[in-house]
Amino acid sequence: MQNLKVEDTYFGANHTLRVKDKLMDLSTPKVMAILNVTPDSFYSGSRVDSEELIIERVKDLLSAGADIIDVGGYSSRPDADDISEQEEVDRITPAIEQILARFPDTIISIDTFRSRVAEEALNKGAAIINDISGFEVDPEIIHVASKYNAPYILMHMRGTPKTMQSLTDYSNLFKNIASYFSDKIAQLKSAGVCDIILDPGFGFSKTIDQNYELLHNLDTFQLLGHPILAGLSRKSMIYKKLGITPEESLAGTIALNAIALEKGASILRVHDVQEAKDLINLLR
């Protein structure tokens, strides 16, 4: 058997991403910070709604060591209200412009499932597409990713944020999700998307028990050969299980992120950057 280094044991296989004209080394996991330019995100600490608050928040996130800022203008919490494409564009494009004007080296991902929103964001300087729908809602988004050579985060979800929690029946959770990923990866590669990140979609069309089953077997998805993103931060699988609020869920988030890292996650998507960076450094 091949001898494994500590880094391999904790963090899985090494990967790189091409982000614009540079390579991002994922041999040490990266931290993606959540920035919601929405009024109804489930966690109030991630919401910003003015230029001053955006700049202040991003400054804090970057100072804490965020590697990627994930900008979202459409709330994906369960039962979230729908908004128009134009409203989403109007929320995210000024935010991206403001961030890059002040912090020009920032790597920004755009959290959207709409191709037009993604393209507007990439035109303003975003570098990565984070699509919760797995291009089910708008298949054209993969061609936008290909056109801009943008890494694409492929998440597993059934239905929409309004319907997803009624779609939690699986014949075999892992086989179903692995099959979904395999089919989608083939389509992405056929469209010319080279850099693909897999997100199993914690909290999306999964029960609390299914979320924990998924987490404890997260390393299974390393067999697909792409980096894994874990988005566990302050989610209902923590606060509902413990009978607390999202605001009280930091300790639970850290605990679950530690498991995700040990199971091979290469990117942690979080609200609390400093704690995630400290965790990564402790496990190295």
Q: Are 31 and 65 a contacting pair, CB within 8 Å?
A: yes
Q: Parallel, antiparallel, or unpaired: how do β-strands 22-25 and 16-19 relate?
A: antiparallel
What b/e sequence results for 229-260 when a residue is b if at least 16 CB atoms lie within 10 Å of its CB, and e otherwise? bbbbbbbbbbbeeeeeebeebbebbbebbeeb
DSSP bridge partners of 16? 25
Q: Which amino acid is at 195?
A: D
Pick the catalytic residue from 91, 158, 184, 235.
235
Q: Report H helices in the chain.
A: 6-11, 51-64, 85-102, 115-124, 141-147, 173-190, 208-216, 236-242, 250-262, 273-283
Of 128, 104, 124, whose CA–CA distance to 18 is shortest? Answer: 128
Pick the catalytic residue from 91, 114, 234, 269.
269
Q: Is 235 a catalytic residue?
A: yes
Helix (H) or strand (E) holding 130: strand 128-131
Q: How many CB atoms lie within 10 A of CB 129?
A: 29
Q: Parallel, antiparallel, or unpaired: how do β-strands 22-25 and 128-131 relate?
A: unpaired
Cα dihedral sign, 12-152-199-224: negative
Q: Are 127 and 20 a contacting pair, CB within 8 Å?
A: yes
Q: Annotated catalytic sites, by residue?
A: 235, 269
